[in-house]
Amino acid sequence: MITGHHACAVIPCIFAHKRKGKAESEPGMFTVVTVKDGNGWKISAWAFTAKKGGGSY
């Protein structure tokens, strides 16, 4: 969604990482908020929200 100089997106994703050297992954949602300035679009905030119980969206 874009409104003037602000935009946001919510994207389903899989967060892959290592915990104590062991590969793990979690399905969830990636939310990003951007602001447009003279140099283009810049990320102003982001968040990852894990899906309770695992599985996919």
DSSP string, 7-46: EEEEEEEEEEEEETTEEEEEEEEEEEEEEEETTEEEEEEE
pLDDT of residue 40: 95
pLDDT of residue 9: 96
Please give the structure tokens belonging to residue 15.
């967060």
CA count, 13 A, side-chain hemisphere, 4? 1
User: Cα separation of 43 and 11, whole Å?
Assistant: 15
Q: Categorize the per-residue pLDDT at 1 as very low, low, confident or very high, splitting at 50, 70 and 90.
A: confident
User: Cα separation of 46 and 32, whole Å?
Assistant: 4
pLDDT of residue 56: 57
- Per-residue pLDDT reduced to its tens digit, 3-36: 899 999 999 999 999 999 999 999 999 999 999 9
Q: Locate the domains of the chain by residue range.
A: 2-50
